[in-house]
Amino acid sequence: MTSAVYDALESLRKSAVERQRARSGKARVVVQVGHCSQAVGAADVADAVSNALPDDAYMVIAGCDGACFAAPKVSVTLPSGAFCQHSNVSADRVRKGFSIAAIDSSQSGDSDAVSFFNKQHRLTLQGCGDMDAVDIGDYILNGGYSGLARALSITPEEVIEDVQASGLRGRGGAYFPAALKWRGARSVRNTPRYLVVNCEEGEPGIFKDRHLMEGAPHRLLEGAIIAAYASGVHDAYIYINAEANLSAERMQGAVEQAYDAGLLGDDILASGFALHVRIMRGAGGYVCGDETTLLNTMEGYRREPRQRPPFPTEAGLWGKPTVINNAETLSGVSYILANGGDAFAAIGTDADKGTKIISLSGAVRRPGVLEVPMGTTLREIIYDLGGGIPDGRDLSAIAIGGPSSGIFPASMLDTPIKSGFIHESGVMLGAGGVIALDGRVSMLQTMRNLAAYNADESCGKCTPCREGTPRMVALVDGIMSGSASASDLNELRQLAELVNAASLCGLGQAAGNPILSAMHFFGDEIAIRLRE
């Protein structure tokens, strides 16, 4: 079977080479179009480039490379190998004077871009921004599906052992070891088993999964096929946020291409392994990122969490064993299978292996999506990669991990990123959002915004979250308006701890973290407001 698997992949590679040969001697023009760059006119730029393209050039639509501060981006590679990249391109600029021969070599040496990319370690984001996002052939020519070929050439247990050796933990926020989840589902004899790829990503300040789906959809799909093979799954669902239309479009295209290429279906790469994949759109709402809430919406029920145990690996979708993995988690699997678990484990720290994608936004010069080794400090993320705070202002605080985490003061800049809590006050990395705040932003208002978001997104099923989250907002409002007392402050702390301890799902269990972390680090500021 091993030979047949590799022969089948080699046949796909040769076909891709033949298609690429038809473009030989032509200039390659890449336009990055993603959900972020669409907001600043990338789709119009692509249309303008297409209309202005000469016969000796061809255009590639790629996802965004993560440098959101430079979008829209257009790059040109001549047959000679000469290369340049243009940032912040407008459709009018293209229409007024687009010429592939007029390469300004200084454009490719932009200092912001160099600083942003040189300090990254890109595994899951590798090729995003340059690789054709809608062409399976381009992915295969860049080594795509070689990890799948190796996986299908060994036993499912050997795949699990390799992933276990890599130390890969889930990247959706919980950081549960991926190999244990796969082995757990495989050990349950109740069949069929299912795989669900969690691409809900509904929280503010997090936008990494969309970049993966739009820039490297086949990498995510390859990881999903490997996970399914290892877990004994033959039916998989990719659950995508209801508003992530471009992500869904790119993933649907990748699924269709994979079926046509024999990478999905009843006999994947002539191995005898069968997997069928469907795209499913999310029901909307932050709480849908919770595993059991997601399953409820897939079955047509209200977006509410289920009691655990049983856990999804025992009784998940339609009561069957179900593996649920985040998009970033699965996008790292192909690297592990292609290069070995030890290669992934060599990156990061002893406790946290591999890389982490960070969604960087707020008061930074270079906002965007970046990938760094676990253990990288917040200072490196915000200053070395993000370029620091613009306009000479000072960093006052850092909101980390979305509304279910907390707020750090600038004095905590040297804190390394890691799984779980990065501080005892309730601050955790979560899905990887980092929002830099400067002195123009009130800490009380930030705390209030995060608390209000959690209150709005509560599904209302359990009493602690339903009643406690709006009460916390009311108490913060009292502090901000000057009508609160010291006893109100004590009640706020106790309520945050109670909601965290007694809520049913991850939203409620972390809803008090923004309150607790703000009171821990900015207690003096809150006390001053009370005295005033």
3-state SS string over 130-173?
CCECCCHHHHHHCCCCHHHHHHHCCCHHHHHHHHHHHCCECCCC
Instruction: Give residue-wise pLDDT tens across range 155-196.
Output: 999 999 999 999 999 999 889 999 999 999 999 999 999 999
For 491, the token pair is: 């009640």
Whether the predicted model's global pTM rises above the 0.85 cut: yes
The side-by-side arrangement of strands in the sheet containing 322-326 is 276-281, 235-240, 194-199, 322-326
- Neighbouring CB atoms inside 10 A of 505's CB total 23
Residues of the chain with pLDDT under 70: 1, 100-111
- The number of residues making up the chain comes to 532
The predicted structure's pLDDT at residue 483: 87
- Neighbouring CB atoms inside 10 A of 132's CB total 19
| Residue carrying structure tokens 């086949």 | 218
The side-by-side arrangement of strands in the sheet containing 27-32 is 57-62, 27-32, 74-77, 83-86
Instruction: Give residue-wise pLDDT tens across range 104-140.
Output: 433 444 667 778 998 899 999 999 999 999 999 999 9
The predicted structure's pLDDT at residue 15: 96
Nearest to 420 by CA among 495, 487, 352: 352
- For the chain, domains (ranges, CATH) are 22-118 (3.40.30.10), 136-344 (3.40.50.11540), 355-438 (3.10.20.600), 443-531 (1.20.1440.230)
474's CB contacts (< 8 A; 6+ apart) are none
3-state secondary structure 72-98: CCEEEECCCCCEEEECCCCHHHHHHHC
| Whole-number Å distance between alpha carbons of 100 and 53 | 8
